[in-house]
Amino acid sequence: MLEISGLHAGYGAVSVLHGVDFTLHQGAFLGLLGANNAGKSTIINCLSGVVRPTSGHIRFEGRELTGLAPHKITDMGLIQVPEGRLIFPQMSVLDNLKLGGGTKRAIAKRSDEMERVFALFPRLSERHTQMAGTMSGGEQQMLAIGRGLMGQPKVLMLDEPSLGLSPLFSQIIFAALKKLHEDGLTILCVEQNLNLTLAYSTSGVVLERGVIAVEGSGPELRDHPITRRAYLGL
Ligand SMILES: Nc1ncnc2c1ncn2[C@@H]1O[C@H](COP(=O)(O)OP(=O)(O)O)[C@@H](O)[C@H]1O
Ligand SMILES: [Mg+2]
């Protein structure tokens, strides 16, 4: 569904990605793992069009994405839930959700999708008039995911959804992702929490020094020396 090949990217004179290759198959829940500063967010930001790669290819359903504007990529159904959530704090929960459903593909389905988001996260329904910035971190993450879903994603990309959340909220978030995956959504998830990611994903890739060093299933990756090096510094 999504094919990344020979992807190079960086910031000014600093190069971060040195030829990243991996494939996200339809229906997968792929964990993108790696040490801090390995370049995980840079990959996600290349996929969503926020960072422009210096070379390489990103193909989504056979179409070349490289160089397309972010809103075009969102319209095609590749939707990012950004690191740090980036919801609009001064707007209500409802208005934040409506903004996520404003794309060409999504607008006709907006009210049905809102019902589905409220069924997935009843807390958002209870708090729909509340100003988003006054909610807890876990509730804001629910909102960020809900806003992404409102855009009718074919692929949902998440960047560290459990960052700063309590274990309880992290479980709630991952249980919701599992439900979405079971309902057919393809998911690409960057996560610091190795055990959570490996428990819920169907497979994973580990980024090391700007290239994918290993890929495999959860059990294969959990004890792999490269994973241990990335997460434990071993
Ligand atoms: N906007 C930016 N400008 C300059 N350097 C950046 C920028 N964003 C990230 N970097 C650098 O690129 C490298 C990879 O960062 P990032 O992709 O955020 O890694 P990760 O998400 O794996 O922690 C880091 O060394 C980081 O400091
Ligand atoms: Mg990051």
Please compute Rg for the chain using Cα positions.
17
Q: Is residue 15 part of a domain?
A: no
Assess if residue 9 is contained within a domain. no
CATH of the domain at 205: 3.40.50.300
How many angstroms is it from 186 CA to the middle of ligand 2?
A: 20
- pLDDT tens track of the chain, all 234 residues? 999 999 999 999 999 999 999 999 999 999 999 998 999 999 999 999 999 999 999 999 999 999 899 999 999 999 999 877 789 999 999 999 999 998 888 999 999 999 999 999 999 999 999 999 999 999 999 999 999 999 999 999 999 999 999 999 999 999 999 999 999 999 999 988 888 899 999 999 999 989 999 999 988 998 899 888 888 765
Q: Which DSSP string corresponds to 131-167?
A: BGGGS-HHHHHHHHHHHHHHT--SEEEEE-TTTT--H
For 202-217, the DSSP string reads SEEEEEETTEEEEEE-
Range(s) of the domain holding residue 87: 28-50+71-232
Please, what is the end-to-end C-alpha distance for the chain in angstroms? Answer: 34
Which residue has the least CA distance to atom 10 on ligand 1? 11
Whether 14 is covered by a domain: the verdict is: no
Q: Which atom of ligand 1 is nearest to the CA of 159?
A: 21
The pTM assigned to this predicted structure is: 0.95
Which tokens belong to 39?
A: 């370049």
**Which of 7, 14, 18 has most ligand 1 atoms within 8 Å of CB, for mutation?**
14
Torsion of CA 198, 199, 203, 204, to 10 degrees: -20
Task: Look at the chain and report how many structural domains it folds into.
Answer: 1
Residue 155 parent element (H or E): strand 155-159
Longest dimension (CA), the chain: 51
Ligand 1 neighbours, Cβ below 6 Å, are 11, 14, 16, 34, 36-42
